[in-house]
Amino acid sequence: RVAEGCGFVLFGVTGDLAHRLVVPALYNLAEAGLLPKDFCIVGVTRSDVPADKLREDLNTSLAKFIKRPVDPEIAKSVLACLSTVRADPSDPASFDVLKKHLGELETRGVANFIFYLAVPPSGFAPISQSLANAGLLKEQQGRWRRLVIEKPFGTDLASARALNQQLLALVDEHQIYRIDHYLGKETVQNILVLRFANGMFEPIWNRNHIDHVQITVSETLDVAHRSSFYDATGALRDMVPNHLFQLLSLVAMEPPARFDAHAVRSEKGEVLAAIQQVSHVEALENSVRGQYTTGKVSDRQVDDYRTTDGVAKNSATETYAALKLSIDNWRWAGVPFYLRTGKALRAKRTEVAIRFKRAPFSMFRDTAIDHFAQNDLVISIEPNEGVTLQFNTKVPGPEIAINGVEMKFRYEDYFKVAPSTGYETLLYDCMTGDNILFQRADGIEAGWAAVEPFIEAWKSAGQDGVQGYAAGSDGPAAADELLERDGRAWRRLT
Ligand code: BG6
């Protein structure tokens, strides 16, 4: 696979996402020698910003967001070709200026374009429409045009469907790259390899051997810096139909017949569509909503969520969500999937834990047990990317005694890789035309359909049922009860 030369047209180039993730990822690609030779960035802004000023700002951001010394020559090579254009969907003439600019680049040999919409969601449809009106999305004579759409893709099933329809009226599905940055993470991609490139896991990867699955994305961050967006969104919408469901679908999907975008995305969509649709009553029984109150996360004092600027004083928005889901298919019948995610929690931890059924223990009934390992296969994404297997061993000595131990694989130890933003892989794939790691319309809609009953049930319940939890804790007690009632417990966040 070779990245083809292209113009990278970045809408929202002055914004946080471009500075924090997108442009640093382009730098990392350049450093790894993966950026195509004929490559240039076109920064699109809504007001006039001189290219020199933008170059300077982006340079500062590279130094800030790349966690190692930045090579000035590489930074220069990435930013040297940067040009800026003002374009605003409410001003059609401005898209003519963009068209003219891209036309000039074409005459200089830039044949292909990526349009990257690093803008708030309200901009996705209007910008795409304006690009299409200007004829900029039409592919001809082997010259490709790709549209990268950031998250959130819709706010519920109806809006996601509407956005899909709007986009698909303008471009073909193969031109749309719906980003979920979790798919750029090594460990997330490794779930596919772990499951399907090893002979030992797949035979036991089913309801006969697996007791349940836990998916955790716990964050220490609070929402202070983006409170009004967050208060209108909440933990469920912000994290579950996208990030947590990416993890769930890779863990739970059937083996695809081929390693290509069509086969993989079809299987992922199928398993999401098999998540049991629950009634409102069941949705309330099988979920927990939490909201953080005053507390300390490590040494940082965090104020009560409802006192945050930009948050409604009587807000019912959840900053923590836990769900119990069932997957209605042959492989997973009777295996609960427990999901939890929240802000201002004790630890930053992202992991999928597959808990296997207990061995029949009768033989060791009278044996001393120091610590019992639950036979968890833990796919860890934060704080360290890797895989851990827990199992029981005999304690050395003449007596039989049992102790739980861990076998650990860490990417960093083994491959000595520099931490990446996750965006590198995704941008590279976009330049090579591989959309296996991007979401397809049906997958997005299946994700929203699965959370819809919870969104609806929580909306009608209003503030009833929102559980407080102290910032810096492990979340609301009700989340523990959700598992306790099934005779299970969350893994402890270390
Ligand atoms: C974003 C959410 O998509 O993902 C944020 O909007 C969240 O609220 C972030 O903090 C988590 O990403 P990561 O890579 O830090 O787990």
Cα separation of 203 and 195, whole Å? Answer: 10
ipTM at complex level: 0.98
- In whole angstroms, what is the distance from residue 418 CA to residue 24 CA? 13
Q: Which atom of ligand 1 is nearest to the CA of 381?
A: 16
Ligand 1 centroid – CA 218 distance (Å):
10
Tell me the Cα Rg of the chain: 24
Measured by CA distance, the residue closest to atom 6 of ligand 1 is: 238
Question: Who contacts 88 (Cβ-Cβ below 8 Å, separation ≥6)?
Answer: 46, 94
474 CB near ligand 1 (under 6 Å): no
Whether residue 389 contacts residue 409, with contact meaning beta carbons closer than 8 Å, is answered with no
Residue ranges of alpha helices (H) inside 381-476 are 411-415, 423-432, 441-461
Q: Write down the pLDDT at residue 419.
A: 61
Give the active site residue among 19, 101, 212, 243: 243
Residue bearing the CA closest to ligand 1, atom 5: 238
User: How remote is the CA of residue 382 from the centroid of ligand 1, in Å?
Assistant: 12
Q: Around Cβ 92, how many Cβ atoms within 10 Å? A: 12
> Two tokens at 122?
């309200």
Decide if 243 is catalytic.
yes
Number of H helices, E strands in the chain: 17, 18
| Cβ neighbour number for residue 15 with a 10 Å cutoff | 15
- Residues 343, 239 contacting (CB under 8 angstroms): no
> Does ligand 1 come within 6 angstroms of the Cβ of 222?
no
- Tokens 């017949």 -> residue: 257
28: Cβ contacts below 8 Å, ≥ 6 apart: 66, 420, 421, 424
With a 6 A CB cut-off, is 238 part of the ligand 1 pocket? Answer: yes
Q: Please report, for residues 63, 75, 79, the alpha-carbon distance to residue 56 in angstroms, rounded to integers and kept in the order given.
A: 11, 11, 9
DSSP state of 156: S
Among protein residues, the one with the nearest Cα to ligand 1's atom 9 is 239
Helix 124-133 crosses helix 157-168 at what angle (to 10 degrees)?
10
**Atom from ligand 1 closest to the CA of residue 151:** 3
112 in ligand 1 pocket by Cβ < 6 Å? Answer: no
Q: In a structure prediction context, what are the per-residue pLDDT tens digits for the chain, which is 494 residues long? A: 788 899 999 999 999 999 999 999 999 999 999 999 889 999 999 888 899 999 999 999 999 999 889 999 999 999 998 999 999 999 999 999 999 999 999 999 999 999 999 999 999 999 999 999 999 999 998 999 999 999 999 999 999 999 999 999 999 999 999 999 999 998 888 999 999 999 999 999 999 999 999 999 999 999 988 898 899 999 999 999 999 999 999 999 999 999 999 999 999 999 999 999 999 999 999 999 999 999 999 999 999 999 999 999 999 999 999 999 999 999 999 999 999 999 999 999 999 999 999 888 778 888 888 788 889 999 999 898 999 999 999 999 998 889 999 999 998 899 987 666 789 999 999 999 999 999 999 999 999 999 999 999 999 999 999 999 999 999 999 999 999 999 999 999 87
In whole angstroms, give the CA distance from residue 180 to residue 183: 6
Distance CA 68, CA 426 (A): 21
From 243, 297, 317, 341, give the residue whose CB has the most ligand 1 atoms within 8 Å, as the site to mutate: 243
CB-ligand 1 contact for 350 (6 Å cutoff): yes
Long-range pairs for 68-74: beta carbons < 8 A, 24 or more residues apart: 68/418, 70/27, 71/31, 74/27, 74/30, 74/31
